[in-house]
A = this chain, B = another copy of it.
Amino acid sequence: MKRYTTVFLVGLVVLLAVVLAGVLVYMKNQPVQQRAVAPIVEIAPMEPDSSKWGINFPNQWASLLKTETNNIDTTYGGSSQFSWLERDPRQVILFAGYPFSKDYNDDRGHMNMLEDVRATKRLNLNDEDPKHTPATCYSCKSANNPALWDEMGMEAYDAMSFNEMTPNIHEPIGCANCHEASSMRLIVTNPALDEALKAQGKDWTTFTRQEMRTVVCANCHVEYYFQGAGKYLTFPWAKGTQIDQIVEYYEESGFKDWEYPETGTPMLKAQHPEFEFFTAGSTHYNAGVSCADCHMPYVRDGASKYSSHDVKSPLLTVEQSCGTCHTDTEAVVRRVNTIQEQIATTKQDTEDAIIDAITALKAAAANPDADQALLDQARNLHRKAQYMWDFVSAENSTGFHNPEYALKILAESTNLARQAQMLAAQSVNDPGLLATGTYYKTAPAQ
């Protein structure tokens, strides 16, 4: 009898320990999203086909489908495919020698990603050797990616060419890019983001749901580059995500995207650093607002409330996006327009300064007697000035995600561009290279 009691007690202790461990493991993980109804169908892990997820989440799926046709413009941005090169012909000069000077359209909604990346003239997929375009360009374009990365690893993925990868890619951006099928929790799916966070000592599985409502956007909406011969997708965050830390990273790595024609400047192209920009102490981020709060506001369908997946400019959903916190939404719209106008005009002044620097650098570089040390200093300032400008210009908010940051960066960029021009003039001892407004004196090469 005593023996049975002992066995029973030991068994009970073990059972309790197992249950306790289970509870602790459960509690350690972020809270799992509660669903009001049981799923209708089971979703396979990393299921690429969003329409299958849509059976369980018809509202979210219906709103995601709207991104195919939500091509409405705002004053400074929006989701139509307008040409930046036509809207601001300075960009034709600024990206000379790089594919962005040939084809640079504003991006459409999520459902069009695949069609648009295959259509852009930037990739030159019909070249004699199309292999120079790596599969890495698909990294932010498809819901097939999480499963592919899981199966083959990102290194093997990125080592393939774009055209070789094409048969594996069928779906545009979808559910699997941000959600775990079994729990619907928000997850990091892009291995490059996972690695960049880990390098900073950050573990995204410990983030709150509200934090994840910003972090999952960083699966794509970040600055990145293709590292080395394997075109390995890499975020330049090793020193931090602030602009000066990213510039320092690139200076140490010596990476260049292309060489500017006739000036010899080793150039950098900024991508779309929305995450870095917004999280750099912006008013809204500081107030605890996430990307999804504004771009995926809660909307209603009858009695059910859901986060709209029709991701677009909050200026198109002011009541739902801004009205949650701001009572006077008309005032909000006025204010956004004022801020974006200030940034757009300041940005053009910066562009004019960089083009003046380019004009001077071309003349100096063509002069065999130029002081090469001064010329290299001038090139380095051109490189930094244009990257900083592009960090603001390529960021998809006309600076609104962090207006002060945008204007501070533009002020510094203009200053560096003017210093590049002055150094170019000094390198050939020719004050004739100090002309300003050179953009207006030459017809832009379209």
- A contact set with B: CB distance below 8 Å: 281, 283, 286-288, 328, 331, 334-335, 338-339, 342-343, 345-346, 349-350, 353, 403-405, 407-408, 410-412, 414-415, 418-419, 421-423, 425-426, 429-432, 434, 436
Whether B349 and A412, one on each chain, are in contact in the complex, defined by CB atoms closer than 8 angstroms, is yes
Could you say which of A288, A349, A404 has the most chain B C-beta atoms within 10 Å of its C-beta? A404
Residue of B nearest to A425 (CB): B431
Q: Which residues of B contact A419 (CB under 8 A)?
A: 418, 436
Which of B286, B414, B425, B429 is A335 in contact with, Cβ under 8 Å? B286
User: A328-B288, A425-B431 known; A335 and B283 CB under 8 Å?
Assistant: yes
In the bound complex, CA of A426 to CA of B419 (Å): 15
CB pairs A–B below 8 angstroms (26 shown): A286-B338, A287-B328, A287-B331, A287-B335, A288-B331, A343-B404, A343-B408, A346-B407, A346-B408, A346-B411, A349-B412, A404-B404, A404-B407, A407-B408, A407-B411, A414-B414, A414-B418, A415-B415, A415-B418, A418-B418, A419-B436, A422-B431, A425-B431, A425-B434, A426-B431, A430-B431
Residue of B nearest to A428 (CB): B431
Q: How far is the CB of A252 from chain B (nearest CB, A)?
A: 23
Whether B426 and A331, one on each chain, are in contact in the complex, defined by CB atoms closer than 8 angstroms, is no
Grouping DSSP codes into helix (H, G, I), strand (E, B) and loop, the A interface class, with mixed when no group exceeds half, is helix
Q: Which residues of B contact A429 (CB under 8 A)?
A: 431
Whether B415 and A426, one on each chain, are in contact in the complex, defined by CB atoms closer than 8 angstroms, is no
Q: How far is the CB of A310 from chain B (nearest CB, A)?
A: 28
In the bound complex, CA of A421 to CA of B426 (Å): 13
- Starting from the known contacts A287-B328, A353-B415, A429-B431, 19 additional A-B residue pairs (CB-CB under 8 Å) come to A283-B335, A286-B331, A286-B334, A286-B338, A287-B331, A288-B331, A339-B404, A342-B404, A349-B412, A349-B415, A403-B403, A404-B404, A407-B408, A414-B414, A414-B415, A423-B434, A425-B434, A430-B431, A431-B431
Which of B335, B408, B434 is A422 in contact with, Cβ under 8 Å? B434
In the bound complex, CA of A430 to CA of B434 (Å): 11
Q: How many identical chains are in the complex?
A: 2
In the bound complex, CA of A204 to CA of B233 (Å): 61
Residue of B nearest to A422 (CB): B434
In the bound complex, CA of A347 to CA of B286 (Å): 23
Residue of B nearest to A360 (CB): B422
Residue of B nearest to A399 (CB): B404
In the bound complex, CA of A389 to CA of B431 (Å): 26
User: A410-B411, A421-B422 known; A281 and B434 CB under 8 Å?
Assistant: no
In the bound complex, CA of A346 to CA of B432 (Å): 29
Q: Which residues of B contact A339 (CB under 8 A)?
A: 404
Could you say which of A283, A328, A414, A422 has the most chain B C-beta atoms within 10 Å of its C-beta? A422
In the bound complex, CA of A335 to CA of B402 (Å): 12
Could you say which of A281, A418, A419, A423 has the most chain B C-beta atoms within 10 Å of its C-beta? A418
Q: Which residues of B contact A411 (CB under 8 A)?
A: 346, 349-350, 407, 410-411, 414
Q: Which residues of B contact A353 (CB under 8 A)?
A: 415, 418
Q: Which residues of B contact A407 (CB under 8 A)?
A: 346, 404, 407-408, 411
In the bound complex, CA of A346 to CA of B406 (Å): 12
Residue of B nearest to A349 (CB): B415
Q: Which residues of B contact A281 (CB under 8 A)?
A: 334-335, 338
Q: How far is the CB of A425 from chain B (nearest CB, A)?
A: 5
Q: How far is the CB of A216 from chain B (nearest CB, A)?
A: 23
Q: How far is the CB of A440 from chain B (nearest CB, A)?
A: 14
- List the 8 closest A-B pairs by CB distance, nearest first: A407-B407, A418-B418, A411-B411, A422-B434, A281-B338, A426-B431, A286-B335, A342-B408
Q: Which residues of B contact A415 (CB under 8 A)?
A: 349, 353, 414-415, 418
Q: Which residues of B contact A328 (CB under 8 A)?
A: 287-288
Q: Which residues of B contact A412 (CB under 8 A)?
A: 346, 349
Residue of B nearest to A415 (CB): B414
Q: How far is the CB of A284 from chain B (nearest CB, A)?
A: 10
Q: Which residues of B contact A331 (CB under 8 A)?
A: 286-288
